[in-house]
Amino acid sequence: MEHLHYPNETADYRTARNALLDEEMALRAQIEAVAAKRRALPLGGEVPQDYIFERIGKTSMPEQVRMSELFGPHDTLILYSFMYGPERELPCPGCTHLLDGLDGAARHVGKRAALHIVAKSPIARLAAWAHERGWEHLSLLSTSGNSYDADYFGDTSKFSKGMRTQHHVPDGQNWDETIFNVFKKANGKIRHFWGSEMSFAPPAPKQHHRAGDLVDPLWGLLDMTPEGRGDFFPKVRYD
């Protein structure tokens, strides 16, 4: 295998870099192997109801839309639960920076699958935030008034006792959570396909759960640098 050689690099550097490249290629193969296993999953459970969401319609007024209508021309639907409930003064900075990156990708994803962002705040509040952030391609929906978040773990209300303990959710309290869920239309029914359950798996020491890293450009860029991620975490605003 031929390798690149940058100006004035040392033999020690090239030896170490070539060894790292071998590991990067192995990681690439592992990522694809996991993706193939994900694609081969059997369909999950049927969605218990045709949830009603709220969105901003073509007339710039709120309108109701059923889950079955969110697929558009596709058979696959991706919903991302955005941590911006009415009790929050500002949305989650982790969710917000992720959506900053996904806004550009949304125009392309929409050619192959339906993608929508759901949160508990009223739709007018979500639309105002999208305008402030400059999001032009993301479709935001309000889950206010339906049980989607509870059923698909966009909040903690249906966590088991063990999960509540693991995630330090006090008795009598609940909050919204971040998770991707993918749904599939098959034989006239909507079935769950996959969820980013690693959001709720025990993280490695001194690491974020990293459940959405494969679609998050920020962390990928920082992982290329000598400093890495360090203890950096994005903010909603930088003064």
The verdict on residue 207 lying in a domain is no
The verdict on residue 205 lying in a domain is no
pLDDT at residue number 18: 97
- CB of 136 closer than 8 Å to CB of 100: no
Give the predicted TM-score (pTM) of the model: 0.94
- CB of 208 closer than 8 Å to CB of 228: no
The verdict on residue 238 lying in a domain is no
Backbone angles phi, psi at 186, to 5 degrees: -150, 125
Counting the structural domains of the chain, the total is 1
Instruction: Provide the CATH number for the domain around residue 193.
Output: 3.40.30.10
- Indicate if the pLDDT at residue 204 is higher than 90: no
- Indicate if the pLDDT at residue 95 is higher than 90: yes
The verdict on residue 63 lying in a domain is yes
pLDDT above 70 covers what percent of the chain?
A: 100
- Domain with 120, as residue range(s), is 52-200
- Indicate if the pLDDT at residue 1 is higher than 90: no
DSSP string for 71-114: TTT-SEEEEEE----TT-SS--HHHHHHHHHHHHHHHHHTTTSE
- Residue 167: which of 151, 235, 212, 175 has the closest Cα? 175
- Indicate if the pLDDT at residue 209 is higher than 90: no
Gap between the Cα atoms of 142 and 62, Å rounded: 10
The verdict on residue 26 lying in a domain is no
The verdict on residue 189 lying in a domain is yes
- The alpha carbon of residue 173 and the mean position of all alpha carbons in its chain are separated, in whole angstroms, by 24
Helix (H) / strand (E) containing 197: none
Q: pLDDT averaged over the chain? A: 95
Q: What share of the chain is helix, strand, coil (3-state, %, to 5)?
A: 35, 20, 45
The verdict on residue 227 lying in a domain is no
